[in-house]
Amino acid sequence: MAYRTDTLCGIFHNQALRYGDQVELLRAKLDKNGNPSSEWHSRTWKETRDEAIGLAKGLMVLGLKKGDRIVIFSESRPRWIIADQAIQACGAVGVPLYPTLTVEELGYMTSDSGSTIVIASNQVRAEMAIKAKAQGVVIEKIIVMCSWNGAKPEGVYTFDEVIALGKGKISDEEVEKNINSVTPDDVASIIYTSGTTGKQKGAILTQKNWIANLHQASNSTLVRHQRELGLHLTFLVHLPMCHVFGRTSDYHVGALQQGGILVFAESFEKIPKNLQEIRPNVVVSIPRLWEKIYDTTKSIVSRQNETTQSIFNWAMKLGEKYSDAMANATRMGQLDLLQFAAANVLVFNKIKKTAGLDHVVLGISGGGKLSKDVCVFIRSLGIQLSEGYGLTETSPVINFNEPEFASSFDISKAGWFDKKMVDLTVDLMVTKQALGLSPYTNPIRSLSLSLAYNTVAHKLQIKPGTVGRPVMWTEEKIAEDGEILVKGPQVFKGYWNLPDATKEAFTDDGWFKTGDIGEFDSDGFLRITDRKKELFVTSGGKNVAPHPIELAVIAKPYIDQTCLIGDARKYLTALIVPDFHELHRFAKHNGIPECSDKELIENDKIKELIKKQVDEVNETLPRYEQIKYYKLLDKSFIVESGELTPTLKLKRRIVFEKFKNDIESMYTN
- Domain annotation covers residue 13: yes
Question: For 163-176, what is each residue's pLDDT tens digit?
Answer: 999 999 999 999 99
pLDDT at 1 (0 to 100): 78
Q: Are residues 406 and 291 in the same domain?
A: yes
Type of residue at 336:
D
Q: Is the pLDDT of residue 195 over 70?
A: no
Q: How far apart are CA 557 and CA 295, in angstroms?
A: 6
Q: Which of 185-199, 362-376, 623-637 is the least confident region?
A: 185-199
pLDDT at 669 (0 to 100): 65
Q: Are residues 298 and 427 in the same domain?
A: yes
Which residues are bridge partners to 142 per DSSP? 118, 156
Burial (CB count within 10 angstroms: exposed 0-12, middle 13-18, buried 19+), residue 21: exposed
Is the Cβ–Cβ distance between 28 and 42 less than 8 Å? no
Question: For 341-352, what is each residue's pLDDT tens digit?
Answer: 999 999 999 999
**Could you list the residue range(s) of the whole structural domain that residue 305 is in?**
234-461
Q: How far apart are CA 89 and CA 94, in angstroms?
A: 11
pLDDT at 90 (0 to 100): 98
Q: Are residues 179 and 318 in the same domain?
A: no
pTM of the model: 0.89
Q: Is the pLDDT of residue 38 over 90?
A: yes
Q: How far apart are CA 383 and CA 292, in angstroms?
A: 16
Q: Are residues 250 and 311 in the same domain?
A: yes
Angle value at C-alpha 372, between 370 and 377, nearest 5 degrees = 100
The average pLDDT across 448-476 equals 94
- Domain annotation covers residue 423: yes
pLDDT at 154 (0 to 100): 94
Q: Which of 149-153, 195-199, 369-373, 552-556 is the least confident region?
A: 195-199
CATH number of the CATH domain containing 595: 3.30.300.30
Q: What percent of the chain has pLDDT over 90?
A: 85
CATH number of the CATH domain containing 79: 3.40.50.12780
Q: Are residues 257 and 158 in the same domain?
A: no
Phi and psi (nearest 5°) for 590? -125, 25
- Domain annotation covers residue 200: no
pLDDT at 196 (0 to 100): 52
The closest alpha carbon to 263, from 25, 50, 46, 51, belongs to: 25
Is the Cβ–Cβ distance between 214 and 256 less than 8 Å? yes
Q: Are residues 121 and 265 in the same domain?
A: no
Q: How far apart are CA 552 and CA 541, in angstroms?
A: 23
- Domain annotation covers residue 222: no
Q: Are residues 639 and 558 in the same domain?
A: yes
- Domain annotation covers residue 605: yes
Type of residue at 223:
V
- How confident is residue 82, by pLDDT bands cut at 50, 70 and 90? very high
> Which residues have a Cβ under 8 Å from the Cβ of 131 and sit 6 or more positions away?
103
Type of residue at 577:
V
- How confident is residue 539, by pLDDT bands cut at 50, 70 and 90? confident
Q: Are residues 364 and 456 in the same domain?
A: yes
Chosen domain end from 426, 443, 461:
461
Q: Is the pLDDT of residue 504 over 90?
A: yes
In eight-state DSSP terms, residue 625 is G
- Domain annotation covers residue 514: no
- How confident is residue 197, by pLDDT bands cut at 50, 70 and 90? low
Q: Is the pLDDT of residue 320 over 60?
A: yes
pLDDT at 617 (0 to 100): 95
Q: Are residues 414 and 277 in the same domain?
A: yes
Q: How far apart are CA 137 and CA 127, in angstroms?
A: 13
Chosen domain end from 409, 442, 461:
461
In eight-state DSSP terms, residue 459 is G
- Domain annotation covers residue 490: no
Q: Is the pLDDT of residue 525 over 70?
A: yes
Q: Are residues 135 and 246 in the same domain?
A: no
Q: Is the pLDDT of residue 663 over 70?
A: yes
Q: Are residues 260 and 392 in the same domain?
A: yes
Q: Is the pLDDT of residue 666 over 80?
A: yes
- Domain annotation covers residue 148: yes
The whole-angstrom distance between residue 181's C-alpha and the CA centroid of its chain comes to 32
The closest alpha carbon to 515, from 503, 505, 524, belongs to: 505
Q: Are residues 168 and 269 in the same domain?
A: no
Q: How far apart are CA 68 and CA 454, in angstroms?
A: 56
| CA-based end-to-end distance of the chain | 74
The whole-angstrom distance between residue 313's C-alpha and the CA centroid of its chain comes to 30
Burial (CB count within 10 angstroms: exposed 0-12, middle 13-18, buried 19+), residue 103: middle
Q: How far apart are CA 64 and CA 167, in angstroms?
A: 16
The average pLDDT across 285-298 equals 90
Question: For 201-244, what is each residue's pLDDT tens digit?
Answer: 999 999 999 999 999 999 999 999 999 999 999 999 999 999 99
The closest alpha carbon to 499, from 210, 209, 92, 202, belongs to: 202
pLDDT at 537 (0 to 100): 83
pLDDT at 130 (0 to 100): 98
The closest alpha carbon to 193, from 324, 98, 280, 111, belongs to: 98
CATH number of the CATH domain containing 283: 3.40.50.980
| Count of domains forming the chain | 3
Chosen domain end from 430, 461, 492:
461
